[in-house]
Structure 1
Amino acid sequence: MGAQQSEPFRRPTPQEVAAAAGRGLPDVIGPGLRVLFCGFNPGLYSAAVGLPFARRGSRFWPALHGAGFTDRRLHPWEHDELLRRGLGITSLSNRATARADELTSAELVAGVTGLAVKVERYRPGWVAILGVTAYRIAFARPRAGLGPQSQPLGRARVWVLPNPSGLNAHFPLPALTAEFAKLRQET
């Protein structure tokens, strides 16, 4: 897995994390990505430090590596490395919350419009929605499951992955990685 690197930022205090509520994050995005990973929204810790999936225990990075998207485990601050591998990160809502269930259905639905604009501009091959619940609500597909979806988003194909949040107890890291690997095989 590569050597563990310390964060190139000061760890925020609990007060700084709480104060990040409502803040957003810049996208990690560029033209012609293989996969644009799209989460619900930033968590408070990520918003406090200004990096996606920044919490030390984030399962996004080990799942990405374990699935074969990267040759080593990347860190949240390695935007350039992520983009070089044809991968990007965005969110349906750019409002940081402690839990994804703090978002309203209207926020998720509205987020599809912004996501469609990004897909039209940057033209990723795949959009991977990180969370079946978010996908069902945002895209008005209440019976959707994990995996490839029949409806594209613009010219991009859509794949639904489990939410990598540690709060998603239905998918321990090996199961999460296996789902990421299914998408990797298609890219």
Structure 2
Amino acid sequence: MTRAPRSPRPTRAELEAARDRLVPDVVADGLRVLFCGINPGLMTAATGHHFARPGNRFWPVLHLSGFTPRLLNPAEQGELLSYGLGITNVVARATARADELTAEEYVAGGQSLTAKVKRLRPGWLAVVGVTAYRVAFGDRTAQVGPQERTIGDTRVWVLPNPSGLNAHWTAATMAEEFGRLRRAADGG
């Protein structure tokens, strides 16, 4: 897989200046799948591109699972809409690490996400990160995979967190789980 050239990496000062910044969603009405990250990292906030941190496996796994015909880089995130895919976050504000977020922020984010999903009506909401899903939706026993919960007519799937820090999942095993969702979203 070849990747398009990256923009220059932000400096440490630019990354720190991105703290608490909001990153626009990549969304449209009636998507097949709306992917939902935990919250933007500083690299994402500095560049304005979701899952922008080198080492984050979202983009490679999206391709390996068959959601995209080629490996996209974060700067090409707008192309997701042509595949019926979008990106949002549980919590909007950027932090260096997800553990900087409070339980209250997750719960409020789950409420905002519910309203967004009801408005946009995607076929599936795919939350990347089981712990974030558990806290945001008050479902302490949730596991990776399809959930019984629906939001309006939108079905919910919890995916593994693609962060490079999530060593429990390899790119290959994540691609298998993302692929299960893709097949479900495609009606098979």
Give 2:22's aligned amino acid: G
Give distance in 1, aligned partners of 2:30 and 2:81.
10
C-alpha displacement of 1:70: 0.7
Task: Measure how far apart 1:56 and its partner are.
Answer: 2.9
1:121 is aligned to: 119
Q: Which moved more, 1:168-177 or 1:33-42?
A: 168-177
Q: Cα distance, 1:154 vs. partner?
A: 2.2
Which ranges in structure 1 are unaligned for 5 or more consecutive residues? none
Q: Deviations over 1:40-77 (max 9, x none)?
A: 10001110111101123220000000000011011112
Structure 2 SS opposite 1:185: helix
2:155 equivalent in structure 1: 157
Whether 1:47 and 2:17 are equivalent positions in the alignment is no
How far apart, in 2, do the equivalents of 1:138 and 1:79 lie? 25
TM-score by length of 1: 0.95
Amino acid across the alignment from 2:21: R
Task: Indicate the RMSD between aligned Cα atoms, in angstroms.
Answer: 1.1
Query: 1:34-183 counterparts in 2 under 5 A?
Result: 34-183=32-181
Matched AA of 2:107: V
Give the SS at the match of 2:119.
Answer: helix
For the Cα contact (< 8 Å) 2:26–2:87, is it kept in 1?
A: yes
Q: With structure 2 as the length reference, what TM-score do the two structures score?
A: 0.94
**Structure 2 unaligned blocks of 5 or more:** none
- Answer yes or no: is 1:4 the counterpart of 2:19: no
Per-residue CA shift, 1:13-66, capped at 9, x if unaligned?
A: 011112211111000000110000001100011101111011232200000000
2:127 aligned counterpart, secondary structure: strand
Q: In 2, distance between residues paired with 1:79 and 1:93?
A: 19
- Give the count of matched residue pairs: 185
Task: For 1:36 and 1:27, locate their aligned partners in 2 and report how far apart those are by CA, in whole Å.
Answer: 10
- What's the CA shift string for 1:143-177, capped at 9, x where partnerless? 11010000102221000001111111111211111
| Structure 1 segments (4+ residues) deviating >4 Å | none
